[in-house]
Amino acid sequence: MKELLKKIDANPYPPMLRDLPEIDIPIEGIRGWLLKSEDKQVVFFDIEPVGKMPDHSHCAQWGIMLDGKMKLTIGNDTKIYQKGDWYYIPEGIVHSAEFLTKVFVIDVFDDPNRYQIK
């Protein structure tokens, strides 16, 4: 039981979320568990401090930081996000992120096919 509690403490996602299918993402140090509906995806991310993700755009995205620290640039605005902060990226807006520490974030994507299952 102590070992299970240590794993839960290190990762805020309980087994019921970590039992969801993992997303197929080709970036070492980024994991995500997928919850999907007919028109949306929710991804529970566990991200190591992998550095900067390049500029990109896609469907609308809303996220909330559970833990960690990241620098997020949305359009021309750059801000440091930490535990409790949320953000919204409208569809087609160029954005990038830099993961400064280990980050746990929940993202909702307005596209049921944003990520595929591993």
Q: What is the pLDDT of residue 65?
A: 98
Alpha-carbon span 92 to 71, nearest angstrom: 19
pLDDT in tens, 13-45: 999 999 999 999 999 999 999 999 999 999 999
Q: Over range 46-50, report the average pLDDT.
A: 97
11 neighbors 20 (Cβ within 8 angstroms): no
pTM listed for this prediction: 0.90
Q: Please determine, for residue 6, whether its predicted confidence score (pLDDT) is greater than 50.
A: no
For the chain, the average pLDDT equals 93
pLDDT in tens, 77-88: 999 999 999 999
Alpha-carbon span 63 to 8, nearest angstrom: 21
Where along the chain do its domains lie? 2-109
CATH number of 2-109: 2.60.120.10
Q: What is the pLDDT of residue 10?
A: 75
